[in-house]
Structure 1
Amino acid sequence: MSREDRLRKLLKNPHIWRPGESSATGRNNVPSGFSVLDQQLGGGWPIGVLTEILLSNSGIGELGLLMPALIHMSKNDSAYDSRSYTAVQDTWGSSRSDRLLWIAPPYIPYAPALTQHGLDVSRVLIVHSAKQLDALWAMEQALNSPVCRVVLGWFADIDDRSMRRLQLAAESGACWTVIFRHARFADITSPAPLRIHIKPGRKPEAGDLDLNILRNRYGPVGELSLQC
């Protein structure tokens, strides 16, 4: 086999992605609640991979960006079409993959406000850890578990090796997985198939948010603005 033939065969591998090439076909996703964003992402937030949200400061509207999908995932069992799992009984008495796990959030979530938005807080579990290593371990274990449908993780700093471990764990499960990371990492290579840098928009008090899609395996990259 010639070198050109080997190269063509390699490029046909479904696990290889080239920039500008969409790989949305045949994958699961959850609608973001924003039609313009869904168009960019090939249908919604991707399930079974790592999504990286980059931001300079917490509390600029990142939860508002995710809230429609979080509400959807907390209430709509039929919409969660993950890979087949054998039902297991978890520590909290659930036999379904219905938990929304938040790991090391920078602030204590205010349950009444989340409920007012429509989120079913009975499905939300929060893990606090003083050590990032423990938080990373918890996130990896959650991604390998069949009892979580959403895993969110906040990390001040995280090395490339840990990012790759989380991406592999996300691929092995069927969670919607989001990691929040400081914007200073925007120019650093990441294994996450979807990377979005977010900033306050023109009217932050009205929920305006500017997004810069830096890497997108499922559609085009570029900037867009939303009202969350």
Structure 2
Amino acid sequence: MESALPARVDRIDPRTLLGPKVWRATEQAQIRTEPTGFDVLDRALPGGGWPLGAVSEVLHAQLGAGELSLALPLLARLTQAGRPVAFVAPPMLPYAPRLAAAGIQLSKLLIVDRTESDSEQNALWSAEQLLRAAAGAVLLWIEKADAHALRRLQLAAEESDSCVLLYRSERYAAESTPSALRLRIWRQNAAPQVEVLKCRGARPLPIPLRAAA
């Protein structure tokens, strides 16, 4: 019986055996993204923006540090293209005139407030269902979440090919998570500062980036 193996396996380029999602340390990973709308941040991130089909964490020093402003260009672009977006368990009711002024089509925005998601498990479940219902982006505010719950959220993001922005306190910065991107935002001299803590496909930047509020 003839062997099914090639006569000279040493001539096979090993790169042909690897899938396109495997990151090689000497190469820039190919990542599909949606631009953040902030040029300086897009230039710092692999693929140039928020990763699609993945969870991105935004860790804030305190509420009102400018964390929602980071998402406004994304939400405006998606809703103007007719795609629904959702806020799940926001800490306070978003100010509709500000969102409209940023270009967000309010008819495409769904808000699941804290009375409807009275536990973090319910909030995570709501986010998963919205992703499976083809939301273009889901913004989720929770604090504690175990690794299993975050993996489920990541899987839902992959299946929907959507953006997920997970907002948490910066005290969770040392916690290991499956998120593709982790940003930290705080205010210094009244101006928002953004630091890339983790980004899939490249090394994070050690120098904080300046972002407009």
Query: What corresponds to 1:107 in structure 2?
Result: 92
- Secondary structure, aligned partner of 2:136: strand
Q: Which amino acid aligns with 1:168?
A: L
The sequence identity of aligned pairs, in percent, is 36
Tell me the distance in 1 between the aligned counterparts of 2:64 and 2:163: 21
| CA deviation after TM superposition for structure 1 residue 139, in Å | 0.8
Query: What corresponds to 1:30 in structure 2?
Result: 34
- In the TM superposition, 1:197-208 aligns within 5 A as 197-202=184-189, 204=190, 208=191
Query: What corresponds to 2:195 in structure 1?
Result: 212
Query: What corresponds to 1:143 in structure 2?
Result: 131
Structure 1 unmatched runs, 5+: 1-7, 78-97
CA contact (8 A) 2:59 2:185 kept: yes
Structure 2 unmatched runs, 5+: 1-13
Tell me the distance in 2 between the aligned counterparts of 1:58 and 1:105: 11
- 1:116 lines up with 2:68 in the alignment: no
Query: What corresponds to 1:46 in structure 2?
Result: 51
- 1:133 lines up with 2:121 in the alignment: yes
Tell me the distance in 2 between the aligned counterparts of 1:101 and 1:173: 14
Structure 2 vs 1, CA of residues 40 and 20 (structure 1 numbering), >3 Å: closer, same or farther? farther
Structure 2 vs 1, CA of residues 158 and 35 (structure 1 numbering), >3 Å: closer, same or farther? same
CA contact (8 A) 1:20 1:219 kept: no
Tell me the distance in 2 between the aligned counterparts of 1:105 and 1:19: 38
Structure 2 vs 1, CA of residues 145 and 21 (structure 1 numbering), >3 Å: closer, same or farther? farther
Tell me the distance in 2 between the aligned counterparts of 1:214 and 1:179: 14
Which digits, 9 at most, give the CA deviation of each residue in 1:37-76, with x for residues without a partner?
1111222211111111111322211111111121111113
- Secondary structure, aligned partner of 2:152: helix
CA contact (8 A) 1:157 1:182 kept: no
Query: What corresponds to 2:4 in structure 1?
Result: none
Q: Which amino acid aligns with 2:163?
A: W
Tell me the distance in 1 between the aligned counterparts of 2:57 and 2:157: 12
The count of aligned residue pairs is 195
- Secondary structure, aligned partner of 1:227: coil
Aligned-CA RMSD value: 2.3
Q: Which amino acid aligns with 1:216?
A: C
